[in-house]
Amino acid sequence: MVGRLYEWWPEERWREERERYWLLLRPWVQARVERSSRQEPHPVYDFLFEYYSYRPSHLLRWSPGWGIALHGARVEDVGWREFDVIPGGVVLSVQAFPTRRLDYVRWAVRYLEAVENREPAWNCLGLHEWAMVYHEPCIRHSYVPLRLSREAIHDFVRQQSLRCTHYDAYRFFTPAARPLNRWELTRQTTIEFDQPACVHVTMDLYRFAYKIAPFCPGSLLAATFDLARQARELDMRASPYDLRAYGLSPICIETPEGRAAFIETQRRLYERAQPLRRQLREIYQRLLNERLSTSHEAE
Model confidence pLDDT, tens digit, residues 133-170: 999 888 888 999 999 999 999 999 999 989 999 999 99
Closest CA to 65 of 275, 290, 295: 290
Under 8 Å between Cβ of 217 and 284: no
Binned at pLDDT 50, 70 and 90, residue 15 comes out as very high
* pTM listed for this prediction: 0.95
**Number of other CB atoms surrounding residue 10 within 10 Å:** 12
pLDDT for residue 137: 85
How far apart CA 59 and CA 40 sit, in angstroms, is 21
* CA quadruple 295, 207, 33, 23: dihedral, nearest 10: 80
